[in-house]
Chains A and B, each alone.
Chain A
Amino acid sequence: SAVISQKPSRDICQRGTSLTIQCQVDSQVTMMFWYRQQPGQSLTLIATANQGSEATYESGFVIDKFPISRPNLTFSTLTVSNMSPEDSSIYLCSVLKLEKLFFGSGTQLSVL
Chain B
Amino acid sequence: GIQVEQSPPDLILQEGANSTLRCNFSDSVNNLQWFHQNPWGQLINLFYIPSGTKQNGRLSATTVATERYSLLYISSSQTTDSGVYFCAVNSGYSTLTFGKGTMLLVSP
Contact = CB atoms under 8 A, between A and B. Distances in A.
Interface residues of A, number: 19
A92 interface: yes
A78 to B, nearest CB: 16
Chain B interface: which size bin? 10 to 19
A74 interface: no
A112 to B, nearest CB: 21
A101 B41 contact: no
A58 to B, nearest CB: 8
Given A42-B86, A106-B42, A99 B48 contact: yes
B61 interface: no
Interface stretch (B17-25, B65-73, B74-82, B92-100): B92-100
Interface of B: 31, 33, 35, 41-43, 45, 48, 86, 88, 95-96, 98-101
